[in-house]
Amino acid sequence: MIIIKRNYLLLCFLLAFGSFTAIAQKVKEKKPAKQEASADRPLQLSDTALLDLVQKQTFRYFWDFAHPVSGMARERSNVDDYGPETVTTGGTGFGIMSVIVATERKWIARDTAAKFLLKMVKFLLKAPVYHGAYPHWMDGATGRTIPFSRKDDGGDLVETSYLMQGLLCARQYFNADNETENAFRQRVAWIWNDIEWNWYTQGQEVLYWHWSPNNGWAMNFPVRGFNECLIMYILAASCPNERYEVPAAVYHRGWAESNFFKNGKKFYGFDLPLGFDYGGPLFFSHYSFLGLDPHGLKDRYADYWQQNQNHTYINHAYCLDNPKHFKGFGDDCWGLTASDTYYGYDAHSPTNDNGTISPTAALSAFPYTPEYSMKALKHFYNDLGSKIWGEYGFTDAFNETKNWYAKSYLAIDQGPEVVMIENYRTGLLWKLFMNIPDVQNGLKKLGFVSPYLHN
């Protein structure tokens, strides 16, 4: 198996913009997954029933397929390539948020969910951390760090932030005064208080992605915007432990200073305040915003509702335009983001388009483009059907030009579907996260305004 290793998005994507300091999805080529049995697919469902089914079926990835010892989310369903013990820190954070949705919708009992999460945090407290940060991958049975690459064998602050986003929402939701929920909240507080955000600055005004006891700062990746990592800076500013807090300058002089932070141009008639031309892959507007509510969220750089909605409009308009004439693209078949593809894995976007559509792109965009997302959902479910529908919802991607349909599911793609559809329907995760006092303090510290913030 060939390791491409994250070049902090893909090399081809970065070359298009002439920058090697950009973003970051971790990428690995893989063998084709074994085909899995198709799930039952009832037809003629109402819109509400279809959303219910998609959320519930997709949640099963984090429940039925969770690691039996730790409860953490496995990296992907094709475990032959990664090993059955490999669990993912960030994907687990997304999965925790899906457990909240499942509890609220009564697919699982509250006490059962709380015990499941308590088991998970007990496991996490025994696993190795690196100045408070967890690795990208670990062994779901033992907690042992599994290196992502030769030098990436220590703390991963971005993945830890995705995990913490989920844990903080769960701490807010499971607020009952009983033994299980009290014990869970206490342990989340221990994890939260022990993240050494200031260590990951190296004394500079920027956060670094990695640190390893074996390789130090050899990965050497300062995280600058705009991309999927905003949540890391928000949580760093929200740190409740004075020993580990970072100044606001880390956000303004680190995250907000790069040659790809501000955009200000129009694409297909839509203003894009921040980021790469055409917006980049759609996961930029998903991962950090599973908890952060972009409605009315503004700072000196952008209106984040405008940023995310227009990013999505541009992605949809590009697929409708279909300048490369790929089969299947259209008003009901759109969505370019990082996912599996016919030759491995790639970060798809209007500037890096090979004809691969990733269902998570349109489905996780429901809050921004509900009409377009519903059209895509109905096409994926009713028309493509069993080609991409299975036991954990929609598989990762497809490419009709190549007659290729993935059989794999990825934690980082399944989780946002459950969470963002719920945010579209009820705002559940947004309300939980935005009402956390630490988060409100962090947002104020960085100069954000939001309907949730009160002077």
**Dihedral sign from CA coordinates of 352, 353, 358, 361:** positive
> Is 345 a residue whose pLDDT tops 90?
yes
Confidence class for position 455, pLDDT limits 50, 70, 90: low
| Residue corresponding to tokens 């687990």 | 92
Contacts of 347 (CB under 8 A, 6+ apart): 9, 10, 13, 25, 27, 280, 281, 337, 338
> Is 342 a residue whose pLDDT tops 60?
yes
Contacts of 363 (CB under 8 A, 6+ apart): 54, 335, 373, 376, 377, 380, 394, 417, 420, 421
What does pTM read for this prediction? 0.93
Q: What is the pLDDT of residues 158-207, one digit of tens each?
A: 999 999 999 999 999 999 999 999 999 999 999 999 999 999 999 999 99
Q: What is the pLDDT of residues 107-150, one digit of tens each?
A: 999 999 999 999 999 999 999 999 999 999 999 999 999 999 99
Domains for the chain: give ranges and CATH numbers.
42-446 (1.50.10.140)
Q: What is the pLDDT of residues 232-288, one digit of tens each?
A: 999 999 999 999 999 999 999 999 999 899 999 999 999 999 999 999 999 999 999
Could you give the CA distance from residue 274 to residue 448 in angstroms, rounded to a whole number?
A: 16
Predicted confidence at residue 92, as pLDDT, reads 98
Report which of 332, 324, 374 is spatially closest to residue 350, judged by C-alpha positions. 324
425-439 average pLDDT score = 98
Predicted confidence at residue 39, as pLDDT, reads 60
Predicted confidence at residue 389, as pLDDT, reads 98
Could you give the CA distance from residue 128 to residue 213 in angstroms, rounded to a whole number?
A: 11
> Is 1 a residue whose pLDDT tops 70?
no
Q: What is the pLDDT of residues 359-398, one digit of tens each?
A: 999 999 999 999 999 999 999 999 999 999 999 999 999 9
Answer for the pair 408, 340: CB distance below 8 angstroms, yes or no. Answer: yes
Intra-chain end-to-end CA distance of the chain, in Å: 54
Confidence class for position 81, pLDDT limits 50, 70, 90: confident
Percentage of the chain exceeding pLDDT 90: 89
